[in-house]
Amino acid sequence: MKKIIQSGLLCLVWLISSCSLFETDNFEAPDVTLEGQVVDVLTGKPVFTDQGSEGIRVRLTELSWGDNVEHNPDFYCMPDGTFRNTKLFKGNYHITVDGPFIPLLRRDPNGKELADESLIMDLESSHQVKFEVQPFLHVEWVGEPTVDDGKVTAQVKVSRAVSPEDFRTKVEPMGGYSDDFLNVTDIQFFVSYSSSVGYRARDERWSSRLDYAGNSFDNLFGEAITLESNGTIPTGRTVFVRAAARINYDTPTGSGTKRWNYSEAKEVLIN
């Protein structure tokens, strides 16, 4: 009998505690939308990027929860430098982007703020923002790609989008500065069936790269650089190509990720 009573009491406790499972969830679903674009402050043109973790990172931190709150999950821009998040909670946010451009938030080695060009704003419904940045490089097509025997050949021109003097003025106070930061390390020629062609959407059979040691690229700024795809692309196929170049500087600082500045994508018919 004693065991029966104890079992009954345990069942009663479980029933009472389980009632919370049926309580109404009073939290509103995340329905705030944030749309944005990242553009060159001098030209107003989009800063083209990769659609993945090597591209422009968007980071939001909801300040409504206090000073020690962790940032929201990061997300990344589209290839054309735009971004969109439709599942945010209402609140006060710090919004910043990291990519192949002068960091918006800069601190010295002691943590003292040197500059902050990020945003702090209340998000309540639908919002549009624009970040005007200083890209490291401009990568532009010279003429149109050509096709011969299943290979794509194209020419690009790479130029500095921020002067070495301005770069140094803004980056050196952050600590650990080196003149090597400004060196172009490589130019990539990405080929893919996808219109989102880039590092994350490339066909390794056909994509190629040119590497440069030290400051060996310096004399090639503004000159036409010839790129050629690898392998043989099947006849009758349509591919997309993009060129990308990067310097020897990681963003965010200390992350180890050196991000490319991209050209526009071009569609090529293999005939």
Domain match, 249 and 143 both: yes
Residue 176 shares a structural domain with residue 55? no
Distance CA 105, CA 35 (A): 20
161 and 125 housed in the same domain = no
Residues near 126 by beta carbon (within 8 Å), at least 6 away in sequence: 32, 33, 35
Same domain assignment for residues 129 and 152: no
21 domain residue, yes or no:
no
Based on the fold, state whether residues 101 and 194 are members of the same structural domain: no
CATH number of the domain bearing residue 129: 2.60.40.1120
Residues 93 and 125 in one domain: yes
CA distance 69 to 230: 48
Mean pLDDT for each consecutive 10-residue tract of the chain (271 residues)?
47 47 58 95 96 93 78 92 94 95 96 95 93 98 97 98 97 96 98 96 97 98 98 96 98 93 97 89
Can you give the pLDDT at residue 176?
Answer: 95
> What pTM was estimated for this model as a whole?
0.86
Measured CA distances, 33 to 81, 89, 127, 202 (Å): 17, 9, 6, 30
Domain boundary among 133, 157, 188: 133
| Residue found by looking up tokens 């929860």 in the block | 65
- 141 with 251, same domain? yes
Identify the pLDDT of residue 51: 87
Reply yes or no: is the peptide bond before residue 252 cis, omega within 30 of 0: yes
Predicted confidence at residue 68, as pLDDT, reads 64
Quick one: pLDDT at residue 52? 87
Task: Supply 265's token pair.
Answer: 């994508």
Q: Which domain holds residue 101?
A: 32-133
pLDDT score at 2: 46
Share in percent of the chain as helix, strand, coil (round to 5): 15, 40, 45
Considering the domain boundaries, does residue 4 fall inside one?
A: no
The confidence score (pLDDT) of residue 9 equals: 45
Say if residue 144 is in the same domain as residue 265: yes
Of 25, 34, 27, give the one whose Cα is nearest residue 61. Answer: 34
Q: Residue 227: which CATH number?
A: 2.60.40.2060
Residues 108 and 172 in one domain: no
Choose the final residue of a domain: 103, 133, 163. Answer: 133
Residues 65 and 141 reside in one and the same domain: no
Count of structural domains within the chain: 2
